[in-house]
Amino acid sequence: MNIRIILIIIVIIIAVVFLTGCWNYKEINQFIIVSGLAIDYSSVDDLYIVTIELINVSGGIDEQEAMSGETFESKGVSIFDAIRNMIGKAGRRLYWSDAAVVIISESIARKGIISALDVVIRGLEIRSDIFLLISKEDTAAEVLYTRDLRRQKVISYHIEDILQSQEETSKYFRVPTWIFVKNLYSSEINPTCPGIKLVTYNNTTFHQIGETAVFKKDQLIGWLNDENTKYFLWITDNLKEGVYSMNLEYDSSYYDVVFEIFSNQTTKKAQYIDDVLTVIIDVQTIVNIDEVVVGPNASSNENIDALEKIIESHIKKKIENLIHIVQNKYNSDILGLGMTIKKDMPELWKNEIKPKWDTTFPKLNTEVNVNIKPRRSSLTLRTIRVQD
Amino acid sequence: MFRIFKDKMLGKNSSTNQNYKLSKSIDKNIALFKEIFKEDETIIYRNFESKSKDSIKFCIIFDKNLSKMSSINDYVIKPITRKEFPNDMSAKKRIELLMSKILITCDNKLSSNTNDLISHILYGDSILLIDGVDQAIQICTKEWHQRAIDEPQAERAIRGPKEGFIESIDVNYTLIRRKIRSPNLKFIFKEVGDKTKTRICICYIDSLASEKVLKELYKRLDEIDIDGVLESGYIEELIKDSPLSPFKTIGNTERPDTVCAKILEGRIALIVDGTPNVLTLPYIFLEYFQVSEDYYTNFFYSSVNRALKYLGFFISTSIPAIYVALTTFHQEMIPTPLLLSISASREGVPFPTIVEALFMLLSFEILREGGIRLPSTVGSAISFVGAVILGEAAVSARFVSAPIVIIVALTGISNFLLPKMLGALILIRIIFLILSAFLGLYGYIFGVIGLFIHLFSMRSFGYPYMLNIDLLDDEEIKDTVIRAPWWLMHFRTRLIGSKNKERQKDYTISRRE
């Protein structure tokens, strides 16, 4: 009786220890942590070039020595092949779960980004929330090779830091790969992602994220410049907070007005009246007027109302301009207008619009309403003036 | 199984106690006691006679170290030697006269049971033998030295009484009696141990304590058949439920206020002579987390301390296991900066993480056990060696990595939040650690499930061990994870205090609000 129970317990322990699927014991120092990768394509020898940044953990209690990035490059007929070729150079097994960014060269993106993204999404170890960037330089590898030594020693994490502070600036946005791929799958929206370039100033090279890559299906077809990127964020309701500055004309003199965006809510609605399909874009922004250079007295209600009107019409014009560019220059629905129509009138979308969306989209009517609500005029009531 | 083994080893049952009988002749009786206390120089036989011509012979037998000689002189020998006994008095009358008029000590008893008499001599009482009587009088003359009432070292309190139990059952009795001055508080004395004849005292309030538990307790105490009981731990292990569990199902404390609080909740206390540790029962899991001071200080502060203790339980059992599981199986779960710093500190360390963890935990336990029984001057040297050698040197020599030192230190400190659970914590920690070294977080979760199945299956004298942990009744939660203010706790604990649930009348609350 007892012996039987003991035997059963032994069998269970053996089965649990040796037959379970989680038998992937690995010590933390048996692998090298990859922080980011860049993918290029060399048309000379028809090979993919994968550049990865590894974190060189030189053991030591000395904090200064704790870690630094180290860049490796290898080639292969496919990306996976190139990654496998890397192990010979890196020495240990690569650990991908903590990779933060994937940078893809513009040439691959123009040809079709799926060839590069497949391994990122399919791979077991790489997380699908890794941030996607398109290099505006000649190659993607350049971005990882350029070291900005004043800051983080690991470039990929430095780039990640820049992306994480998106909310404070609202000049660019971050796109995790899974969102990009989700947008690729859907017919109602085309994917976008930010670009990265190198800027040299005072003999130091910086990484700068900005502009927006416009995709049509999986191909890059052009860029939105920094200014339009802002309005793009405005329409897609990605604007969190940030600073907006504008020149405006009032009483036949020019003023610089700077305001801080507190919160923004953009709602899109589709309307079908008299056989005309219109997408209404409502922008509700709460701002705080930060800086008025030689301008009207910001505290008096009349002036604030006047200011509001001018700002509203200014922003409205800019947004309409962006929609115009997207509709006519690129003919790619990166704004998600199709999604709005599908949500509001699914039957219409399915039966009539979806099949000929390509030709309908450039002609789609839009209506932009901008509503700016200044909350307060910061601490001062009036602008600084030199006494006459 | 053990019983069969024991019977085989002993062959036959060993000899029973010889039963001596007192006779009417005093010389024979003295000879009998001299035979019993052979080669024992501390036993004094003092022969004396009464005043009259046909004097009656008396003999008083006592232990010179345990008895108070001056009271024997003044209250026994002196009055008897000055008294004349009429000749025609019968033996029965003589004893009556002695007991009522002559012996002016407070506690006298007539007895003919020699075993009883012997044990009384050895407990400091005197035996008075009278010629022509086949009985003897026990006279209470106990006196020995005992420790002063002191603050219990293991259960100190900042706020609260500073007195603790001592080794004498009589003093311990007074400490409890003085706090609860109610005739409902009952003390039942018993004796256990063939050789030691240790006195134990069962103490309860009869309008609160459950008869079922009392009956069960008597039954279990009667089943004890052991030669000696030197500490309450003997009795605890002999009568506890789930004897193989590392968890206590009978509590122990050195604080009289704690015992009284438990008696007032409907529990039963068991005082054992010769030890300051008083047992309380039934004992449930929650009582590990309750300290007497919780009830004396501000209830917010007490609730925070309670929460800390639960956290300490989690840290102490689980942190090493979770660390090993994360660093050897689930690196994906560690945030990148932490992963990097762990990776950096593991660089060049020769052992796997599990070996590191076991080694450090073992050395911590060695330090703890080594430090406990040393004089405090040497103890500080031990802790210094431990801190310097194990903490600093082991890391800089790349023997272990720095995070494991932090983990073990944290675990070790959390240990002491629950000093009564120490043994169980060590065992659980090692089991969890080994499970998670084999199976990662799966193993850890298996361990947790196993632990909870074990805890929930236990009972203490019929009461569920995890009482009040499994439900969120607004009345019962008042003394669990939080400690509600006294004016809100108007009921006793569920089940244990069910005989009389009302602790305070409702008006105290209405006055408050």
Query: Which of A19, A29, A56, A61 to mutate to test binding with chain B, by most B CBs within 10 Å of its CB?
Result: A29
Alpha-carbon distance A370 to A362, whole Å? 22
pLDDT per position as a tens digit, B81-129: 887 777 777 778 888 888 888 888 778 888 888 888 888 888 888 888 8
- Enumerate the H helices of B56-133 as residue ranges: 69-72, 78-81, 91-97, 114-121
Say how far apart CA B196 and CA B219 lie, in whole Å. Answer: 20
Q: What is the pLDDT of residues A271-284, one digit of tens each?
A: 888 888 888 999 88
* Domain match, B359 and B455 both: yes
B300/B294 Cα distance (integer angstroms): 10
Measured CA to CA, the distance from residue A161 to residue A173 in angstroms comes to: 12
- The whole-angstrom separation of Cα B220 and Cα B223 is 5
**A26 neighbourhood in chain B, CB within 8 Å:** 328-329, 331
B315 shares its domain with B176: no
- Provide the CB-side half-sphere exposure for B412 (13 A, CA): 21
The C-alpha angle B238, B240, B246, rounded to 5 degrees, equals 105
Q: Is A66 on the interface with B (CB under 8 A)?
A: yes
Determine, yes or no, domain membership for B119: yes
Q: What value does the mean pLDDT take over residues B334-358?
A: 87
User: What is chain B's length?
Assistant: 513
Rounded mean pLDDT, A331-351: 87
Q: Are residues B385 and B334 in the same domain?
A: yes
- A304, A296 contact by CB (below 8 A): no
Q: Residue A249: which pLDDT band, with cuts at 50, 70 and 90? A: low
Structure confidence by residue, pLDDT tens digits, B384-400:
777 777 778 888 888 88
Number of folded domains in chain B? 3
Q: What is the mean pLDDT of residues B415-426?
A: 90
The pLDDT of residue A330: 86
DSSP A110-144: HH-THHHHHHHHH-SSS-TTPEEEEE-SS-SHHHH
Cα-based distances in Å from A342 to A235, A322, A348, A350, B28: 17, 22, 8, 8, 117
Within 8 A of A59 by CB-CB distance, chain B residues are 344-348, 398
The residue with tokens 């609260």 is B160
Residue B340 placed within a domain: yes
B336·A157 Cβ contact <8 A:
yes
Alpha carbons A56 and A68: distance in angstroms, whole number: 5
Confidence at B312, pLDDT banded by 50, 70, 90: very high
Interval B247-266 mean pLDDT: 93
B1 C-beta neighbours (distance < 10 Å), count: 6
B15: pLDDT confidence band, cut at 50, 70 and 90? very low
**pLDDT computed for residue B14 by the predictor:** 45
Q: To the nearest whole angstrom, how far is the Cα of B325 from the nearest Cα of chain A?
A: 9
- Domain assignment present for B57: yes
Percentage of chain A beyond pLDDT 70 is: 85
Give the mean model confidence (pLDDT) for residues B411-420: 89
Question: Of chain A residues 92-151, which have a CB less than 8 A from chain B?
Answer: 95, 97-98, 100, 127
B495 close to B460: Cβ distance less than 8 angstroms: no
Would you say residue B503 lies in a domain?
no
* Beta strands across the sheet bearing B57-63: B43-49, B57-63, B126-130, B136-139, B108-111
Q: 3-class SS at B142?
A: strand
The pLDDT value recorded for residue B480 is: 85
Q: How far is A25 from chain B (nearest CA, A)?
A: 5
Average pLDDT, chain B: 86
In terms of domains, do B277 and B343 share one? no
**Residue A18: both structure tokens together:** 């040796």
Interface contact B329-A97, CB threshold 8 A: no
Adjacency order of strands within the sheet including B268-272: B185-192, B198-205, B268-272, B278-281, B251-253
Q: Which residues contact B108 (CB under 8 A, 6 or more apart)?
A: B99, B137, B138, B139, B140
In this predicted structure, the answer to whether residue A251 has a pLDDT above a threshold of 80 is no
pLDDT at B98: 82
Q: What is the pLDDT of residues B30-42, one digit of tens each?
A: 888 888 888 888 8
- Nearest chain A residue to B341 by CA distance is A66
Higher pLDDT, B371 or B226: B226
Whether residue A8 is predicted with pLDDT greater than 50 in this model: the reply is: yes
DSSP string, A43-95: TTTTEEEEEEEEEE----S-GGGS-EEEEEEEEESSHHHHHHHHHHHH-SEEE
- Is pLDDT larger for residue B259 or for residue B71? B259
Q: How many Cβ atoms from other residues are within 10 Å of residue A205's Cβ?
A: 15
Q: From A360, A362, A330, select the one nearest A215 (Cα to Cα).
A: A330
- Choose the closest CB to A55 out of B340, B346, B396: B340
Q: Which of A130, A134, A112, A111 is nearest to A122 (CA)?
A: A130
Residues B247 and B337 in one domain: no
Closest CA to B250 of B213, B290, B279: B279
| Confidence at residue A149, expressed as pLDDT on a 0 to 100 scale | 60
Q: What is the mean pLDDT of residues A200-210?
A: 83
- Asked, for residue B35, whether it belongs to a domain, the answer is yes
pLDDT of B218 > 50? The answer is: yes
H/E stretch holding A373 reads strand A365-374
Distance CA B326, CA B320 (A): 10
Q: For residue B340, give the nearest of A20, A33, A127 by CB distance.
A: A33
| Cα B252 versus chain centre, distance | 4
Tell me the CB-side half-sphere exposure of residue B123, using CA atoms within 13 A. Answer: 20
Q: What is the mean pLDDT of residues B57-62?
A: 88
| Paired tokens of A90 | 């890196």
- Best probe of the A interface among B327, B340, B405, by most A CBs < 10 A, is B340
One domain, residues B175 and B227: yes
Three-class HEC string of B444-478: HHHHHHHHHHHHHHCEECCEECCCCCCCCCCCHHH
What is the pLDDT, as a whole number, of residue A18? 65
Q: Is the pLDDT of residue B221 over 90?
A: yes
**pLDDT value of position A381:** 57
Burial class (CB in 10 A: 0-12, 13-18, 19+), B39: exposed
Residue with tokens 């976008």: A192
A21/B contact by beta carbon, under 8 A: no
Q: Identify residue B413 by its one-letter amino acid code.
A: I
Cα separation, A128 vs B425, in Å, equals 40
The reply to whether residue B341 touches residue A66, judged by beta carbons under 8 angstroms, is yes
Burial classification of residue A285, based on how many CB atoms lie within 10 Å of its CB (0-12 exposed, 13-18 middle, 19 or more buried): buried
Pair (B327, B443) in one structural domain: yes
Which pLDDT band, with edges at 50, 70 and 90, does B319 fall under? very high
**Mean per-residue pLDDT for B51-58?**
77
How many angstroms away from the CA of B368 is the closest CA of chain A?
Answer: 28
Handedness of CA B473, B477, B480, B481 (dihedral sign): positive
Average pLDDT over residues A25-47: 86
- What does the radius of gyration of chain A's CA atoms come to, in whole angstroms? 26
Q: Highest mean pLDDT range out of A186-200, B3-17, B261-275?
A: B261-275
Are B260 and B325 found together in one domain? no
Looking at the structure, tell me whether residues B252 and B360 fall in a common domain: no
Say if residue B263 is in the same domain as residue B315. Answer: no
Q: A233: how many CB neighbours lie within 10 A of its CB?
A: 21
Residue B253 in any domain: the answer is yes
Torsion of CA A42, A43, A48, A51, to 10 degrees: 10
| Chain mean pLDDT for chain A | 82
A170: left (phi over 0), alpha (psi -120 to 50) or beta: left
Question: Sorting pLDDT into bands at 50, 70 and 90, what band is A91?
Answer: confident
Distances (CA, A) of A152 to A64, A210, A252, B29: 11, 20, 49, 99
pLDDT band at residue B73 using 50, 70 and 90 as cut-offs: confident
The pair of three-digit structure tokens given for residue A39, joined into one six-digit string: 């993918």
- Encoded tokens for A201: 């100033």
The predicted pLDDT at position B16 comes to 47
Q: What percent of chain B is predicted at pLDDT more than 70? A: 94
With respect to residue B82, please indicate whether it lies within any of the assigned structural domains: yes
A285-312 tens-digit pLDDT: 888 776 666 555 555 566 667 777 888 8
Average pLDDT rounded to a whole number, residues A69-81: 86
- Tokens, residue B369: 């056990």
> Residue B190, by phi and psi: left (phi above 0), alpha (psi -120 to 50) or beta?
beta
Q: Which token pair is B355?
A: 């070996």
- Is A28 close to B343, i.e. CB distance below 8 A? yes
User: What is the C-alpha separation between B174 and B260, in angstroms, rounded?
Assistant: 12
d(CA B413, CA B433): 18
Beta bridge partners of B43: B63
Specify whether B314 is located in the same domain as B278: no
- Integer Cα distance of A263 and B141 in angstroms: 90
Check whether residue B455 and residue B306 sit in a common domain.
yes
Residue A385 confidence (pLDDT): 60
pLDDT at B9 over 80: no
Is residue A59 scored above 80 in pLDDT? no
How far is it, in rounded angstroms, from Cα B489 to Cα B478? Answer: 7
Cβ atoms of B56 and B50 within 8 Å: the answer is yes
**Smallest Cβ distance to B344: which of A25, A59, A157?**
A59
Q: Is residue B282 reached through a cis peptide bond, with omega within 30 degrees of 0 on the bond before it? A: yes
Please compute the mean of the pLDDT values over residues B33-62 and round it to a whole number.
84
Instruction: Say if B10 falls within a structural domain.
Output: no
The 3-state DSSP class for residue A369 equals strand
**Structural domain ending residue among the three candidates B250, B283, B316:** B283
CA atoms within 13 A of residue A326's CA, in its CB half-sphere: 31
Asked if A95 contacts A32 with a C-beta cutoff of 8 angstroms, the reply is yes
More reliable by pLDDT, A136 or B105:
A136
Last residue of a domain, one of B463, B483, B508: B463
Give the pLDDT confidence score for residue B452 in this predicted structure.
94
How far apart are alpha carbons A93 and A96 in whole angstroms? 10
Q: Which residue in this structure is represented by tokens 């994968």?
A: A50
Asked if pLDDT for residue A233 goes beyond 50, the answer is yes
The range of the structural domain enclosing residue B390 comes to 302-463
